[in-house]
Amino acid sequence: MTFSPVLTFNDGNTIPQLGYGVWQVEDDIAEKVVVQAFEAGFRHIDTAKIYGNEAGVGRAIERSGLKPEEIFITTKLWNADQGYESTLKAFEESMDRLGLETLDMYLIHWMQPKQDKYVDTWKALIELQKQGRVKTIGVSNFTKAGLQRLIDETGVVPAINQVELHPFFNQAELREFNASKGILTQAWSPLGQGGELLESSIIGQIAAKHGATPAQVVIAWHLAVGNVVIPKSVTESRIRENYAALDVSLDETDVQAINGMDKSAEGAGRIGADPAVSDFA
């Protein structure tokens, strides 16, 4: 079996570059599909408190028989739990649901600038890492200004920034900023949530050239540009297909053609909320 390449964080730990995401997957289904993902070869799972399926992921880990050191598990602190003490409490509750002693990576799910608690929240993550409860700490949906503030006020640089990122919204500027600070970039909705992106003619032509599927081409592009990538599927054949993207290698012409699909200059491409202004409970 091909194993995912690993990338090294600024704290010295490593992460499998290709992982499996479980947003919008019911808890009982999560148990089944995470087991299928492990069988396909995935060793990195991305969940969050708000997905309501940490327990299902935990049951899948137990069923898989895989040892903690063989897998990489991420969960995220939800917005309503931001703040120092509430973060410490929410972390323990997530760990109980996951059934884990130590977590590979804990992320602040959204910056929530209006709430303005993310620096205190980050201090709690720093404490959890000091205590050895979590190996790696990072953020999700952070802007350049938010990252800079965390660094300025705590001196601790997040290991990763997980953001919306796909060929229609490729975040070139933020990726460059992240890299300049030693922060890895992780792509959420990496397939653009399926649909239009996977049906586009540019992706179709590159897929035909490599004897690959459109989803595999998009995943191979993420891997080629250095993103950590976490496609979601509840369809077993697609879980296997997505994992097999590791065997597809794009050339520079393909990568440039996909880079050219970005729509952000036209003010388009983004599917989800804008972290600079988003404010949800």
Ligand X SMILES: NC(=O)c1ccc[n+]([C@@H]2O[C@H](COP(=O)([O-])OP(=O)(O)OC[C@H]3O[C@@H](n4cnc5c(N)ncnc54)[C@H](OP(=O)(O)O)[C@@H]3O)[C@@H](O)[C@H]2O)c1
Nearest C-alpha neighbor of 230 from the set 21, 71, 32: 21
- Token readout for 12 is 């010295």
Known catalytic residue: 106? no
Phi, psi of 44 (to 5 degrees): -130, 120
Is the backbone of residue 24 left (phi > 0), alpha (psi -120 to 50) or beta?
A: left
Those residues whose C-beta lies under 8 Å from the C-beta of residue 52, and which sit 6 or more positions away, are: 26, 27
Q: Should residue 230 be labelled a site residue for ligand X when binding is judged by CB under 6 A?
A: yes
Nearer to ligand X, 49 or 232 (CB): 232
- The DSSP 8-state label assigned to residue 18 in this structure reads B
**In whole angstroms, what is the distance from residue 247 CA to residue 41 CA?**
13
Q: Contact region for ligand X (CB under 6 A) — 10-18, 91-99, 112-120, 226-234?
A: 226-234
The 10 Å CB-count burial string (b at 16+, else e) for 135-160 is bbbbbbbbbbebbebbeeeeebbbbb
Q: How far is the CB of 125 from ligand X (least distance, A)?
A: 15
Q: Contact region for ligand X (CB under 6 A) — 81-89, 123-131, 175-183, 188-196?
A: 188-196
Residue type, 88: L
CB atoms near residue 7 (< 10 Å): 17
Task: Quickly tell me which residue has 């964080």 as its tokens.
Answer: 9
Cα torsion angle, 130, 107, 56, 228, sign: negative
- Give me the catalytic one of 51, 106, 118, 243: 51
Q: Should residue 202 be labelled a site residue for ligand X when binding is judged by CB under 6 A?
A: no
**In whole angstroms, what is the distance from residue 89 CA to residue 99 CA?**
15
Q: Should residue 242 be labelled a site residue for ligand X when binding is judged by CB under 6 A?
A: yes
Q: Should residue 278 be labelled a site residue for ligand X when binding is judged by CB under 6 A?
A: no
Using CB under 6 A, which of 192, 200, 217, 261 touches ligand X?
192
Q: Contact region for ligand X (CB under 6 A) — 4-12, 84-92, 146-154, 234-242?
A: 234-242
Q: 3-class DSSP state for residue 244? A: helix
Q: Should residue 222 be labelled a site residue for ligand X when binding is judged by CB under 6 A?
A: no
Using CB under 6 A, which of 32, 181, 238, 240 touches ligand X?
238
Nearer to ligand X, 121 or 162 (CB): 162
- Token readout for 147 is 């990252």
Q: Should residue 198 be labelled a site residue for ligand X when binding is judged by CB under 6 A?
A: yes
Site mask for ligand X (CB under 6 A), range 127-166, x = bound: -------------xx--------------------x----
Q: Should residue 200 be labelled a site residue for ligand X when binding is judged by CB under 6 A?
A: no
Q: How many helices (H) and strands (E) does the chain have?
A: 11, 10
Q: Should residue 191 be labelled a site residue for ligand X when binding is judged by CB under 6 A?
A: yes
Please work out the total of residues on this chain that contact ligand X, with binding judged by CB under 6 A: 28
Give the residue nearest to ligand X (CB): 21
* Residue ranges in 110-129 that form contacts with ligand X under rule CB under 6 A: none
Q: Should residue 46 be labelled a site residue for ligand X when binding is judged by CB under 6 A?
A: yes
Rule CB under 6 A: which residues touch ligand X?
Answer: 21-23, 46, 109, 140-141, 162, 188-194, 198, 213, 215, 230-235, 238, 241-242, 272
Give the residue numbers annotated as catalytic, written as ranges.
Answer: 51
